[in-house]
């Protein structure tokens, strides 16, 4: 049994800010270059803001120039759902967390080949960052070996 679970909609709405709720539950997007983590370079872990499930490591984060936090890969591919998104007149791949059903952002195949070619372009509003020095205190000590 997983220690991560999706809270009730009422609990989610109570827990999140208006922006976080709009992004995570209504498939919104925050503004580029005006979000918490687009230029965060601290070592640490990014988790689903709704469930706490580990999603991305800072070691896989890079500056894509997009204004949103971008990662070359998730910690675990099985933690994510990839859905076709044809909104806004574009064909994209929406990325949601599997357990929380949290809208995280989109997957693009425009990253440099040297980085693997994939760009997980995520919304800061969908993530919570846990600094390396806080991992053990927050219950994520198994990720310390990644740094």
Contacts of 143 (CB under 8 A, 6+ apart): 45, 54, 57, 135
Dist. CA 126–CA 49, nearest whole Å: 5
Answer whether 30's CB lies under 8 Å from 132's CB.
no
- Catalytically annotated residue among 121, 122, 127, 135: 121
- Burial class, 81, CB count within 10 angstroms (exposed 0-12 / middle 13-18 / buried 19+): middle
121 tagged catalytic: yes
Dist. CA 73–CA 83, nearest whole Å: 16
Element (H, E) at 48: strand 44-48
- The catalytic site residues sit at 121
């Amino acid at each position: 049994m997983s220690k991560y679970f999706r809270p009730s909609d009422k609990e989610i709405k109570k827990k999140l800010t208006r922006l976080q709720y709009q992004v995570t539950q209504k498939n919104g997007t925050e503004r580029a270059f005006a979000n918490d983590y687009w230029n965060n370079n601290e070592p640490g872990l990014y988790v689903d803001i709704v469930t706490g499930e580990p999603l991305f490591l800072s070691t896989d984060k890079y500056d894509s120039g997009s204004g949103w936090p971008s990662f070359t890969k998730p910690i675990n591919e099985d933690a994510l759902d990839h859905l076709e998104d044809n909104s806004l007149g574009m064909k994209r791949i929406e990325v949601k967390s599997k357990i929380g059903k949290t809208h995280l952002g989109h997957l693009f195949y425009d990253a440099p080949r040297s980085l693997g070619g994939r760009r997980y372009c995520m919304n800061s509003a969908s993530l919570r960052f846990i600094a390396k020095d806080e991992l053990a205190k927050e219950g994520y000590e198994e990720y310390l070996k990644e740094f």
